[in-house]
Amino acid sequence: MPGQHAKLSASGAHIWMNCPASYRITKDMPDVETPYAEEGTRAHAYCEYLLRKALEPKAEIPEAIPDNREMEVCCQEYADFIQDKLIEDWEDLPEAFVERRVDFSKWVEGGFGTSDCIIAKADTIIVNDFKYGKGVRVEAEGNPQLRLYALGAIDELSLWDFEKVEMNIIQPRLDHVSSETVSVAELLEFGERAKEASELAFSGNGPAKAGPWCKFCKANAICKERATKPLETIRKILDIGKGGKDR
């Protein structure tokens, strides 16, 4: 029934788009807030403060304080990246939307999220994502979270005539910036794939498929599919070896 599903998040799209059964298996499991996630939330708040202070000098911005010098420097790097983007294309009169709620429910029922910063300029929309984590290097190429945010953004800013979508991940603690640019047509094709995958996930009939995304799945400690996958792989390797000897 529409509206009765738990949310399929953009940040978890790499899981549910690869393993549709993950929705059925994890939907009643509570979210566990880790110290890393809390730290990330505080870093994002400081990024927002820095950007708003720079872009809206006359507004009263509630102050945010970084935890330490590392957070201060990393957030400033992100804020500088956004401001450089705005300056490099100032002739196109770019417009920035900080901490913008994006609704991609046209493609994924109930889907929404918050993009760190969206820039609209001439024929291009730019979706920027700050990552404070340093455990996993995150790439923009084919990144479903950014693409879902971009879908929500072009839907909301439909009066602009965008042709291209630029997506950037800024991960200062790994000294890492990753970017991808696709056409709006390509993004909409992705939207159709996301729609199909979300419908399969919501149906509860989708198969479980183990892969690298399992380590981010809430079910990874109890999932039978994940537990048996390495054994299957070993069995296949042994079978290949056996076949080789028989020949």
Contact footprint for ligand SF4 (CB under 6 A):
15, 19, 21-22, 25, 208-210, 213-214, 217, 219-220, 223, 225-226
Residues 171-175: contacts with CB within 8 Å, 24+ apart? 171/130, 171/131, 171/132, 171/133, 171/134, 171/137, 171/138, 172/73, 172/74, 172/75, 172/77, 172/78, 172/132, 173/70, 173/74, 173/132, 173/133, 173/134, 174/134, 174/137
The nearer residue to ligand SF4, 22 or 145, going by C-beta atoms, is: 22
User: Smallest distance from the beta carbon of 5 to ligand SF4, in angstroms?
Assistant: 17
The nearer residue to ligand SF4, 153 or 223, going by C-beta atoms, is: 223
The nearer residue to ligand SF4, 21 or 151, going by C-beta atoms, is: 21
User: Smallest distance from the beta carbon of 229 to ligand SF4, in angstroms?
Assistant: 7
Q: Is the dihedral of CA 144, 150, 156, 160 positive or negative?
A: negative
DSSP state of 93: -
User: Smallest distance from the beta carbon of 227 to ligand SF4, in angstroms?
Assistant: 9
User: Smallest distance from the beta carbon of 127 to ligand SF4, in angstroms?
Assistant: 25
The nearer residue to ligand SF4, 182 or 223, going by C-beta atoms, is: 223
Q: Which of 185, 123, 117 is nearest to 160 (CA)?
A: 123
User: Smallest distance from the beta carbon of 160 to ligand SF4, in angstroms?
Assistant: 36
The nearer residue to ligand SF4, 7 or 176, going by C-beta atoms, is: 7
Instruction: Estimate the crossing angle of helix 69-88 against helix 35-55, to 10 degrees.
Output: 40
